[in-house]
Structure 1
């Protein structure tokens, strides 16, 4: 087991409290920021994350391993939201691109000392390959991000208005090639697979530039 702790005093406490496990090579305490340190190979991740760093990188952070993470309840609800729900957004698509995600349990404020300002939830992430093909993952995620900045617009206008974010050189070519029913939809109603198909069309017709 590898424990990563940013606070030096807590890292020292862990080394002292579990000195036998450290001596036997069963526990390695790494002092540092989990966002910066070189992570060893691992098969599972359990984390109580600083809420200020819960972001879009979280779904991929487990590196293909099963994960149970404690996050703000609102953040958790966005991770597991389905297309058409108000909480559904780019975090939902990116999380569900990497894994099956579910809220395992709710955690009240009283479970912490000091108490946070928000309710929490434990999210279980079970990695799996998506049931669609993405040729360029970085572009796919950038494209999803772009369209959700225009979530109240139609997909047609979202593609046109966000070329500076997605990196499309020719958004009109994408609009001309896309299905009319899809173009009349809103980004918040598209399943991840639909985003993937549209992103692949955009890559093929829109001549995206590298970010």
Structure 2
């Protein structure tokens, strides 16, 4: 399935259901609870940035609360019907009537493929939204690539994905997404959203989280090797690191270190950093 047929879940209706046709083949679930939309908008601290990128605005149930804040708002969607609707409902003249001076732009684009530098230059920006389940992990991975410009990332995921991102070591759900995200951001699970607030309701609960970039978000090791080690280790998570990291080539003289007798889910971010530094010193 192409991204265009994925990045459409959980669109807001803003109480005006029917304006944008729900497309069954896109698996759309329209958020209809105004209070939850407001709460998601309020997850943003607005500290360290003046621009917010909303992914998957749909019919603008979250967008309208973002527009009440003193930030430039960029609403990005793949659904042409949603784009047309947003441009009509939130037209520039409407913004002038409210006295709003900040920028508002509607962008028809695929977040996973678009050049964010073309939109934001070198300026910092936050990301929020009601993310499509199918590609939510990919959205986080791309955000991590842009971590130098993204001080904050909030929004709604499938509950188990949101929990996994925030999970600590020692848990069976702790994995690649947990380690890589928490290496650079403080991850906080905020609240659970039941299926009944969507139309049609999904089969699972949703969860809202907030990621705030750490004050010092550069690692004291080779970051590319860090990503490689974490991903390789969890690809065979039931094996000890001594076995799962064979493809990377662990030198014989450090193979017997106690850390290599552990499984990846037992290591926190700091332990993975120590592991990478150990490997670096032997290269």
Shorter chain as normaliser: what TM range? 0.7 to 0.9
* Residue matched to 1:30: 107
Unmatched 5+ stretches in structure 1: none
Residue 239 (structure 2) pairs with residue 184 (structure 1): no
Distance 1:107 1:4 in 2: 23
- The CA RMSD over aligned residues, in Å, is 2.2
Distance 1:111 1:148 in 2: 35
Alignment counterpart, residue 278 of structure 2, candidates 181, 190, 201: 201
**1:85-129 CA distances to partner (integer Å, 9 max, x unpaired)?**
121111110110120011111111111112222211011010113
Q: Secondary structure at the match of 1:54?
A: helix
Q: Secondary structure at the match of 2:86?
A: helix
**Structure 1 pair 7–131 and aligned structure 2 pair: CA distance change class (3 A):** closer
Q: By how many angstroms is 1:57 displaced?
A: 5.0
* Residue matched to 1:133: 220
Q: Secondary structure at the match of 1:55?
A: helix
TM-score, normalised to structure 2, is 0.63
Distance 1:116 1:141 in 2: 33
Instruction: Say which is worse superposed, 66-75 or 146-155, in terms of deviation.
Output: 146-155
- The correspondence of residues 1-211 of structure 1 with structure 2, limited to 5 A, is 1-19=73-91, 20=93, 26-39=103-116, 40-41=119-120, 42-56=124-138, 58=140, 61=143, 63=147, 64-128=150-214, 129-130=216-217, 132-135=219-222, 137-160=223-246, 163=247, 168=248, 171-173=249-251, 175-177=252-254, 180-205=257-282, 207=283
Q: Secondary structure at the match of 2:82?
A: helix
Distance 1:37 1:132 in 2: 27
Distance 1:188 1:88 in 2: 6
Instruction: Say which is worse superposed, 32-41 or 71-80, in terms of deviation.
Output: 32-41
Count of paired positions: 196
Q: By how many angstroms is 1:134 displaced?
A: 2.5
Q: Does the CA contact (< 8 Å) of 2:112 and 2:139 recur in 1? A: no
**Structure 1 pair 204–180 and aligned structure 2 pair: CA distance change class (3 A):** closer
Q: Secondary structure at the match of 1:115?
A: coil
Distance 2:87 2:151 in 1: 25
Distance 1:56 1:8 in 2: 22
TM-score, normalised to structure 1, is 0.83
